[in-house]
Amino acid sequence: MNDRILSLLGICKRAGKLITGADTTIDSIRKSKAKLVIFANDFSKSSKKSVQTAADECNVKTLTMNRSKEEIGFALGKICGVMTTEDKGFADKLEQLIENESGGELYDKI
């Protein structure tokens, strides 16, 4: 796999520091464990709103990466549209890679 973002997400998952799914992501945010929330570009807007609200309330940064749920699923072995990392090092590197890919331009919040 040549995709650095998806490769890093796979490493993060194997390290046990990646939480996938809307409900578990919200739970991680509310327990102050989440360091960065990442959305797939085709994640449903209605589900995104509840996760985004929780992240905003707890001051957790959110990013949307230019990958579909299917692409993420191929890398992680599980289709998911939202995930969070509970490790600062992984969060910092993922944020850097996603922002560099988008030209420093972050995707819109809801």
Which band of pLDDT confidence, cut at 50, 70 and 90, is reported for residue 21?
very high
Give pTM, 2 decimals.
0.89
Would you say residue 59 lies in a domain? Answer: yes
* 102, 106, 107, 110: CA torsion to nearest 10: 170
Would you say residue 85 lies in a domain? Answer: yes
Which band of pLDDT confidence, cut at 50, 70 and 90, is reported for residue 101?
confident
CATH number at residue 29: 3.30.1330.30
Which band of pLDDT confidence, cut at 50, 70 and 90, is reported for residue 103?
low
Would you say residue 77 lies in a domain? Answer: yes
Return the ∠ at Cα 66 (arms to 54 and 16), rounded to 5°: 60
* Mean per-residue pLDDT over the chain, rounded: 91
Would you say residue 110 lies in a domain? Answer: no
How many whole angstroms separate alpha carbon 79 and alpha carbon 68? 9
